Chains A and B, each alone.
Chain A
Amino acid sequence: MAVRDFALPDLGEGLTESELVSWRVAIGDAVELNQIIAEVETAKALVELPSPFAGTIAQLYAEPGSTVQVGSRIAAFEVADDAASTPPETPAEGATTEGSTAAIEREPVLVGYGPPVEGGARPTRKPRVFEGGSSAEPAPVAAPASAAAPAAAAQRVEASPRSNPRSTPPVRKLARDLGIELTSLVGTGADGLITRDDVERAAAQATDARAATPSEHARETRTPIRGVRKHTAAAMVSSAFTAPHVSEFLTIDVTPTMELIEKLKRSREFSGLRVNLLTVVAKALCIAVGRTPSVNSRWDDAAQEIVEYGYVNLGIAAATPRGLVVPNVKDADRMTLAQLAAALSELVETARAGKASPADLGGGTISITNIGVFGIDAGTPILNPGEAMILAMGAVRRMPWEFRDEIALRQVMTLSVSFDHRLVDGEQGSRFLADVGAILSDPGMLLTMV
Chain B
Amino acid sequence: MLRTTASEEHLETELLGLDFVQLLTPDGTRVTNPRFDPLVADIGPDELKALYEEMIVVRRIDTEATALQRQGQLGLWPPLLGQEAAQIGSARALRRDDFVFTSYRENAVAYCRGASLTQLMPVWRGTALSGWNPYDIGMATPAVIIGAQTLHATGYALGCAMDGVDSVAVAYFGDGATSQGDVNEAMVFAASFDAPVIFFCQNNQWAISEPVGLQAQRPIAERAPGFGIPSMRVDGNDVLAVMAATRVALERARSGGGPTFIEAVTYRMGPHTTSDDPSRYVDPEVQAEWAGKDPIARVEALLGSLGAMTDDFRAAVQEKADAAAAELRAGCLGLPEPEPLTVFDNVYATPNSGVERQRSQYAAYLATFGVAE
Question: Which residues of A line the B interface, CB within 8 A?
Answer: 6-13, 34, 44-52, 84, 86-87, 126-130, 133-134, 136-144, 146-149
Q: Are A143 and B73 in contact (CB under 8 A)?
A: no
In the bound assembly, the distance between CA atoms of A164 and B369 in angstroms comes to 37
Residues of A within 8 A of B279 (CB): 45-46
Instruction: Tell whether, in the assembled complex, residue B276 and residue A84 are in contact, meaning their CB atoms are under 8 Å apart.
Output: no
Are A140 and B356 neighbours in the complex by a CB distance under 8 Å? no
| Contact A49 to B329, CB < 8 A, known contacts A13-B75, A128-B368 | no
**Cα separation A86 to B363 with both chains bound (whole Å):** 31
CB contact under 8 A between A129 and B368, given known A45-B279, A52-B71: yes
CB < 8 Å: which of B71, B276, B329 contacts A9?
A: B71
Q: Are A143 and B70 closer than 8 Å at their CB atoms?
A: no
Report Cα–Cα, A315/B47, bound state, in Å.
97
Q: Mark B41-77, 1 if CB is under 8 A from A, else 0.
A: 0000000000000000000000010010111110110
Q: Is the CB of B67 within 8 A of A50?
A: yes
**Does the CB pair B333–A146 fall under 8 Å?**
no
Contact B370 A7 (CB under 8 A): no
Which DSSP category, helix, strand, loop or mixed, fits chain B's interface? helix
Residue contact A84 to B333, C-beta cutoff 8 Å:
yes
Among B71, B275, B276, B367, the residue within 8 A (CB) of A141 is B367
A84 with B329, Cβ < 8 A, contacts A9-B72, A49-B70 known: yes
Chain A residues with Cβ below 8 Å from B364 are 141, 143
Known pairs A9-B72, A141-B364, A147-B357; A134 contacts B275 (CB<8 A): no
B19 within 8 A of partner (CB): no
Interface string of B112-133 (1 = CB under 8 A from A): 0000000000000000000000
Contacts of B369 in A (CB 8 A): 126-129, 133-134
Cβ–Cβ < 8 Å partners of B75 in chain A: 10, 13
Please provide the 5 A-B residue pairs with the shortest distance between their CB atoms, ordered closest to farther.
Answer: A9-B72, A45-B277, A146-B360, A142-B373, A143-B360
Contact, CB under 8 Å: A139 / B371: yes
In the complex, whether B287 has a CB less than 8 A from a CB of chain A is no
**B370 pairs with A44, CB closer than 8 A:** no
Structural contact, B71 and A50, CB atoms closer than 8 A: yes
* CB pair B70 A141 closer than 8 Å: no
Asked whether, in the complex, the Cβ of B367 is within 8 Å of the Cβ of A139, the reply is: yes
A149 to B356, CA, bound (A): 12
Chain B interface residues (CB < 8 Å from chain A): 64, 67, 69-73, 75-76, 271, 274-277, 279, 326, 329-330, 333, 341, 353, 356-357, 359-361, 363-364, 366-373
Given contacts A52-B71, A136-B370, A139-B371, contact A11 B274 (CB under 8 A): yes
- Which residue of chain B has its CB nearest to the CB of A130? B368
Q: Are A139 and B73 in contact (CB under 8 A)?
A: no
Please determine whether B64 and A34 come into contact, CB atoms closer than 8 angstroms: yes
Contact B72 A148 (CB under 8 A): no
- Quick one: which of A48, A139, A147 contacts B370, CB cutoff 8 A? A139
Q: How far is the CA of A34 from the CA of B64 in the complex (A)?
A: 8
Partner of A148, one of B69, B71, B361: B361
Report yes or no: A11 in contact with B368, Cβ–Cβ below 8 A.
no
A143 to B361, CA, bound (A): 8
CA distance A128 to B371 in the complex (A): 10
How far is B67's CA from A48's CA once the two chains are assembled, in angstroms?
A: 9
Q: Contacts A134-B369, A139-B372; is A11 near B360 (CB within 8 Å)?
A: no
By the criterion CB–CB under 8 Å, are A48 and B353 in contact? no
Task: Please measure, in the bound complex, the distance between the C-alpha atom of A127 and the C-alpha atom of B371, giving whole angstroms.
Answer: 11
Chain A hits for B359, CB < 8 A: 143, 146
- Would A84 and B67 be within 8 Å (CB), given that A129-B369, A146-B356 are in contact? no
Chain A residue, CB-CB nearest to B278? A45
Mind listing 23 A-B residue pairs with CB under 8 Å? A7-B72, A10-B75, A13-B76, A44-B275, A44-B276, A45-B276, A46-B279, A49-B70, A49-B71, A50-B67, A50-B70, A51-B71, A84-B326, A84-B329, A129-B370, A130-B368, A134-B370, A140-B367, A142-B367, A143-B360, A146-B359, A147-B356, A148-B357
